[in-house]
Chain A
Amino acid sequence: MVGLSEGEKHFIRGGIAQDLRTDGRRRLQFRAISVETGVIPQANGSARVRLGATEVIATVKAELGKPSILHPDKGKVSIFVDCSPTAAPMFEGRGSEEFSAELCVALQRCLLGGKSGAGAAIDLSSLIVVDGKVCWDLYIDGLVVSSDGNLLDALAAAIKVALSDTGIPKVNVSLSATTDEEPEVNVSDEEFLQFDTSSVPVIVTLTKVGKHYIVDATSEEESQMSSAVSVSVNRHGQIRGLTKRGGAGLDPSVIFDMISVAKHVSRQFISVLDSETLAAEAAE
């Protein structure tokens, strides 16, 4: 993206101050969102989400692995994000590594919960096959196909839809008489289990421009931001994660205000996303 001129910057900031953005939206209004599921048939679950001109693909792959020593009764979930150079020239070479890592860590913070598993988007205990020996490892991959701002919200929405599209094969275990031996597992080809995604949160990013903050910032608006707060909220209004981005400092009362606004805005966003998901699954 070519840099903005001073006149353009002034226009954007002035518009936001008057609650009228360059594309006609108000400060707390999202761009149109569209959802497709099952776009990658080889994956256990996949989704493509388009938020304005921002487009991301999320896939979920499940593999059998060994539980971690610290939590032998829980499965494992890993999240990776790839910013492809096809999305924006600035993602060429190593330019995207730090940005991908930042998105990846923010998503992990919002979806994986605390170390004890409390607050996680998925009940990790449901991923256990044999305690201490066999569990499902979920690999969640996000791919940025087109970038026009607000990647974090789009990625979180895509992961939520991909998880609702995910089918985990049912596993039958024949335990051997000796407990020390590896159990024999039989992965079913017909039966699949699905996740309860009602508690999977969405991320709402509030971007501060001048004295106001906006949701769903475009690239141009993001270039004018002083800082941003990404809040992860689930359907029940519970906060599951929070990340402040951008370098400028924020007054604590502004942050608390942003949190309550994010909870309010996320209610509508979740209902729109849910209806789009149902429509996409019906069309599949």
Chain B
Amino acid sequence: MSAAAAATDGTYSPAAAAGEKRRERKEELRRHLAEDADWPRADGRSFHDCRPAFMQTGPTTAASGSAYAEFGKTKVIVSVFGPRESKKAMLYSDTGRLNCNVSYTTFATPIRGQGMDNKEYSAMLHKALEGAVMLHTFPKTTVDVFALVLESGGSDLPIIISCASLALADAGIMIYDLVTSVSVSCFGKNIIIDPTSDEEAWQDGSIMVAYMPARKEITQLTLTGEWSDGKITNAVELCMDACSKLCDILRERLKDAASLAE
């Protein structure tokens, strides 16, 4: 009887204690991110460093053009088909059509099937590329761009946009300029570039810029969260600078592919 009473009186709960500790740890991490002026990121980068980029043309033989991109953990493959005949249901058009589709594999995210929520990526990819593709050069026909995210490690959409413009160039579609895209995240006063998914999960705000460096035109720009005017200008200029450097990498890839073809 006394033993049973003692067991009932116990108030210790391991699950609650562990939960409390976990929450405290997260709160401390968040305070650390927002207030400290200069901390090394989890993967060792400084605030304005992008992840190492690997890009390759031609991984899909059936497509007119294709490209594969790896930025850290994010892996994306894009195929381009066309210009080819539009479906009969579509009306006649003096200019060509650009059709974009972005999808995630079920194993792309830590939790299976989580990537299905990004329905707007297709429309955003379309708007980013629309300003760069010379639609008037293929009237009545359609160019299809299919993007597949093999692994999602943060900053997925900017990588999809850059990879898609490389695939369009590989397909021989006439474009005004390559479109490259970079995003930044905001933590309190700090701006970090090319965030990982862990960093994205805690950001105060984010900006994504899709840019044509040779023409100095922004084709897509989205902003969310808390930004002051000066910070917006700094962040957009930081993105444009990173886009120019990424464009140089893309041009090198295209030159290499052209050399191999000869």
Binding site for B on A (CB under 8 A): 70, 72, 98, 101-102, 104-105, 109-110, 112-116, 118-119, 132, 179-180, 227, 229, 238-252, 255-256, 259-260
From residue A281, how far is it (CB to closest CB) to chain B in Å? Answer: 29
Residues from chain B with a CB closer than 8 A to the CB of A239 are 223, 227-229, 232
Binding site for A on B (CB under 8 A): 13, 15-16, 19, 23, 30, 119-120, 122-123, 126-127, 130-132, 186, 200-206, 212, 215-229, 232-233, 236-237, 240
From residue A83, how far is it (CB to closest CB) to chain B in Å? Answer: 14
Q: Which of A98, A113, A179 contacts B225 (CB 8 A)?
A: A113
From residue A214, how far is it (CB to closest CB) to chain B in Å? Answer: 19
A110 touches B16 (CB 8 A): no
B223 touches A109 (CB 8 A): yes
From residue A100, how far is it (CB to closest CB) to chain B in Å? Answer: 10
Task: Please report whether the interface of chain A is mostly helix, strand, loop or mixed according to DSSP.
Answer: mixed
B226 touches A113 (CB 8 A): yes
Residues from chain B with a CB closer than 8 A to the CB of A259 are 229, 232
Q: Given A70-B201, A180-B15, A245-B127, are A109 and B222 neighbors across the interface (CB < 8 Å)?
A: yes
CA A113 to CA B202, docked complex, whole Å: 11
Q: Which residue of A lies closest to B199 (CB)?
A: A115
Task: Please report whether the interface of chain B is mostly helix, strand, loop or mixed according to DSSP.
Answer: mixed
A255 touches B206 (CB 8 A): no
CA A98 to CA B100, docked complex, whole Å: 12
From residue A257, how far is it (CB to closest CB) to chain B in Å? Answer: 12
Residues from chain B with a CB closer than 8 A to the CB of A98 are 122-123
Residues from chain B with a CB closer than 8 A to the CB of A119 are 204-205, 224-227
Q: Given A109-B222, A248-B131, are A101 and B120 neighbors across the interface (CB < 8 Å)?
A: yes
Most-contacted residue by chain B among A70, A116, A259 (CB, 10 A): A116
Q: Which residue of A lies closest to B226 (CB)?
A: A119
CA A105 to CA B124, docked complex, whole Å: 10
Q: Given A102-B123, A118-B204, A252-B216, are A179 and B13 neighbors across the interface (CB < 8 Å)?
A: yes
B205 touches A113 (CB 8 A): yes
CA A251 to CA B240, docked complex, whole Å: 11
B131 touches A247 (CB 8 A): yes
A114 touches B204 (CB 8 A): yes
B224 touches A114 (CB 8 A): yes
A116 touches B222 (CB 8 A): no
Residues from chain B with a CB closer than 8 A to the CB of A227 are 131
